[in-house]
Amino acid sequence: MSKTVDLAAEPYAFTLSPGHCALLIIDMQRDFLEPGGFGEMLGNDVSQLRRTIEPNRRLLAAWRAAGLPALHTREGHRPDLSDLPPAKKVRGRSATTIGDAGPMGRILVRGEAGHDIIPELYPAPGEPVIDKPGKGAFHATDLHSILQHRDVKQLVVTGVTTEVCVNTTVREANDRGYDCLVLEDCCGSYFPEFHAMGLKMIKAQGGIFGWVAHSDGLVEALAGLK
Q: What is the DSSP letter of 46?
A: T
Q: What angle do CA 77, 28, 163 make, to 5 degrees?
A: 85
SS3 of residue 93 by DSSP: coil
Give 15's strand partners.
6
Among the options 21, 31, 131, 165, which is catalytic?
Answer: 165
Residue 27 a catalytic site member: yes
Among the options 27, 116, 131, 179, which is catalytic?
Answer: 27
Q: What is the CA radius of gyration of the chain?
A: 17
d(CA 157, CA 187): 8
**Cβ atoms within 10 A of the Cβ of 60, count?**
23
Instruction: Supply the residues annotated as catalytic.
Output: 27, 132, 165
